[in-house]
Structure 1
Amino acid sequence: MSTAPEDTNNNKDSADSLLADIRKKITEAFDIFDHESNKTVDVREVGTIIRSLSCCPSEAELHDMLAEIEEEEPTGYIRFEKFEPMMTKVLMERRYKPSPEDQILKAFQVLDTDNKGYLTAEELTKYMTEEGEPFTLEEMEEMMSAAIDPDKKTVLYKDYASAMAVEET
C-alpha cells in the first residue's frame, strides 16, 4: 500500500493554505494604506507596507522592488494588481527576513566599545546617521522614541534588541 497520493494532496493543501494566508496578509496590509479604496497606495507608503509584512529590505532593495512594480509612466501610486504578485513571491521565498535577536544584540555590542551595556542617545544617533545606510531624521526620531530608556536616557540595547526581534510565524 502506498500513501504517496494522499501525502501529495496534504502537501498541496498546506501549500495552498499558506499561499492563501500570505495573500490575505498582503491584502490587509495594502488596504490599510489604500485611503481612497481604489486599489492604489502612495508610492511613499510601500516601504511601510512591506516592513509591516515582516520584510526588512535595504533602501536599495526597496527601490528595486518599486522599480519592478511602478507604472512605466510613474504616477506616484502603486496598484494592488502589481504589488500583490511581487509581494507574494517575496514572502513565499522568505526574502528580506528580519535579523534574529542575537544578531541585533551583536551589532549593538560592536558599537558599545566600552562594554557598558548601553549606548547614549548621542552615540546611537552618530552611528545611525553617519555610518552605512544612514537613517533619516524621521527614522531616527521614531527609533529613539522606542529605544531610549526614559529614566536613564540611554539605550539599554539588550532590552531594545529583544523588542526589535520579529518572531517567525
Structure 2
Amino acid sequence: MAGDLSARDIERATFAFSIYDFEGNGTVDAFYVGDILRGLNLNPTLAVIEKMGGTKKRNEKKLKVEDFLPIFGQVKKDKDVGSYEDFLECMKLYDKAEDGKMLLAELTHILLALGERLTDSEVQEIVKDCVEPEDEDGFTPYVPFLKKLVAGPDVGETPAEEQQEK
C-alpha cells in the first residue's frame, strides 16, 4: 500500500506520525491512529480505524511508521466518505415544503440514529454550534448547517476569542 503513496504523502505521513511518537523511539500507540489520519485531512470512521489496526485503549499495540504507511495509503484510497453534495441530497429528503428547511427534531434524530452514533451531548454541541435557531414551527434551514458542519471547527479562532464567546 505504501507504494501507492507519493513521496510528498510519505513525508506528510511520517511527519504526522512523528508528532505522536511521544517517547521518541519510532513507535506510536495504535490508540492514536485515528488522530494521525485526521491530522492528514482524512475522515475515517471509528469502525475503519479499528479495522485498520487502531485500538480503543492505550498501550495495547505499538506501530512503527512502516506499519502506519500502508494504513494511511488504504484510508486515503478509500472513497467511502460522503461529500457536501451527498449530504445535501439526504437533507432534501426531509424538506417536505422544498424550501430549504427541515424540522430541527428530525435533524437531531438523524444525528442520533443514523451512521456512526453520536451521544446526546455531542448532538447538542453540534446543534448549538452549527444550527440556526428554529422558527415558530420548529423548522431550521439545513444548508447553513451543512456548510458549517463540513467546514469543521474554526481554525483561525484564538484562545482569547474563545474566552470572549463564553
**Could you tell me the TM-score, scaled by structure 2's length?**
0.61
Q: Which letter maps to 1:83?
A: F
Structure 1 counterpart SS, 2:44: coil
**Who is 1:25 aligned against?**
12
Query: Per-residue displacement from partner, 1:3-22 (whole Å, max 9, x unpaired)?
Result: xxxxxxxxxxxxx9x61111
**Aligned mate of 2:142, from 153, 157, 164:** 157
Structure of larger gyration radius: 1
Deviations 1:57-84 (A, max 9, x none): 34333221126xx7xxx94344233112
- Give the aligned partner of residue 76 of structure 1: 60
Are the counterparts in 2 of residues 56 and 96 from structure 1 also a CA contact under 8 Å? no
- Return 5+ residue gaps in structure 1 as ranges: 1-15
Seq. identity, %? 26
Q: Which amino acid aligns with 1:30?
A: F
Distance in 1 between residues matched to 2:140 and 2:26, nearest whole Å: 40
Identify the residue that residue 6 of structure 1 maps to in structure 2: none
Q: d(CA) in 2 for partners of 1:41 and 1:114?
A: 51
Structure 1 pair 37–141 and aligned structure 2 pair: CA distance change class (3 A): farther
Q: How far, CA to CA, are the matches of 2:25 and 2:49 in structure 1? A: 23
Q: Note the C-alpha offset of 1:102.
A: 1.3
**Aligned counterparts of 2:32 and 2:119: Cα–Cα separation in 1:** 15
How many pairs were matched up? 141
- TM-score where L is the length of structure 1: 0.60
Q: Is 1:88 aligned to 2:73, yes or no?
A: yes
Counterpart code for 1:157 = Y
Unaligned runs of 5+ in 2: 153-166
Which residue number in structure 2 is paired with residue 59 of structure 1? Answer: 46
Report the 3-state secondary structure (helix = DSSP H, G, I; strand = E; otherwise coil) of the residue aligned with 1:144.
helix
Deviation at 1:136, TM superposition (A): 3.5
Q: Residues 34 and 157 from structure 1, CA distance in 2 versus in 1: closer, same or farther, beyond 3 angstroms? A: farther
> RCO greater where, 1 or 2, for CA within 8 Å and sep 6 or more?
1
Specify whether residues 125 and 85 from structure 1 end up closer, same or farther in structure 2 by C-alpha distance, changes over 3 A only. same
Q: 1 CA distance for matches of 2:140 and 2:53?
A: 33
1:9 aligned partner? none
The residue correspondences of 1:66-145 to structure 2 (distance < 5 A) are: 66=53, 75-81=59-65, 82-91=67-76, 94-96=77-79, 98-119=81-102, 121-137=104-120, 139-141=122-124, 143-145=126-128
Q: CA RMSD in A?
A: 3.5
